Structure formats: C-alpha cells, structure tokens
Amino acid sequence: MSGGLSLVLRFDGSVGYGPENADPRTAAIGYVVETGTPLVEGSRALSAFVSSTHVEFRALVAGARAVAALSTHRPVSAVHVRGDAAAVIDTVDPTRPAVPGDAIRRRRVDTVRDALADVPTVTYQQTTREQNRRAHVLAARPHQTG
C-alpha cells in the first residue's frame, strides 16, 4: 500500500507492588501509536492479571487493536512495534523461533497478528525503557489515579 502511514506502536505494561515489593497488587497498560507525533494513546488499569509478561501482552494487544481501528480510516503501509519486554517481542515476532508458553499467550499472539494482518510491513524490535518512555508513562498513570 504505497503512500500509507508508517506508524510506530509503542507499548508497556506496569505492575504495582505492595510494601517491600512483596506482592503484586495492581496492573495497568499503556500504548502510543505515532508517526513522530502521537496519533492515538491509551492507558487503563486491569482488573485481573497473571504476570508482568501477560500485562505486557495485553498492552500490545490494545495497541494493535488501536492500529487496526486507525487503519479503517487511513491507509497504513507499515507498523514498527516497539516495546521493552524482550519476551513479548521475541514471541510475537514471526521471524523469531520463540513459541508462546501457554494458551493465553498463544491467543494474544494470534490477536496481535490478526489485528495487524492487513498492514503490508510489520516489524518488531525491543527498545530501552527510555525509548519507550511515553508508553511507560501511560502504563504508570492508572496506578497514580486509581
């Protein structure tokens, strides 16, 4: 699709722990879809979660769905997925040999790939927390307001 938007999807999950980081108490996600400037941002608390990796997957799913919704209104030629969770990036990237470890992760990988299936070019890359700062801030926000 020549002339479509080239997007960057940044995602992050956040888990809030109790005293002395002993037990996870809250979880939230954040994502931003941008072309150099944000087009779509999302942030929300999660009512239930299994692990920090599952929270990261949920952030990516939400971001991929936002890209899919955006692509119904504007042509998208590429999506460059960026996140600081290596396990998620390695598992969802079809060019890498990682396999989802459980049924929930398999379902989330399928959801991401389905949401982005109509985009001609999709790349996945792990980034640093600093490069992923906006998604991180969005993921932390529900802990501060919730």
pLDDT at 146: 52
pLDDT at 75: 95
CA-based nearest residue to 47, from 138, 112, 142: 142
Taking only the tens place, the pLDDT of each residue in 38-84 is 999 999 999 887 788 899 999 999 999 999 999 999 999 999 999 99
| Sequential DSSP letters for 34-103 | ESSSEEEEEEEEES--S-HHHHHHHHHHHHHHHHHHHHTTS-EEEEEEEES-HHHHHHH-TTS----SSH
- Report whether pLDDT(7) > 80: yes
C-alpha 96/C-alpha 26 separation (Å) is: 31
DSSP character for 110?
A: H
pLDDT at 1: 42
Mean pLDDT over 12-34 rounds to 88
> Between 8 and 24, whose confidence is greater?
8
**Domains of the chain, earliest start first:** 5-145 (3.30.420.10)
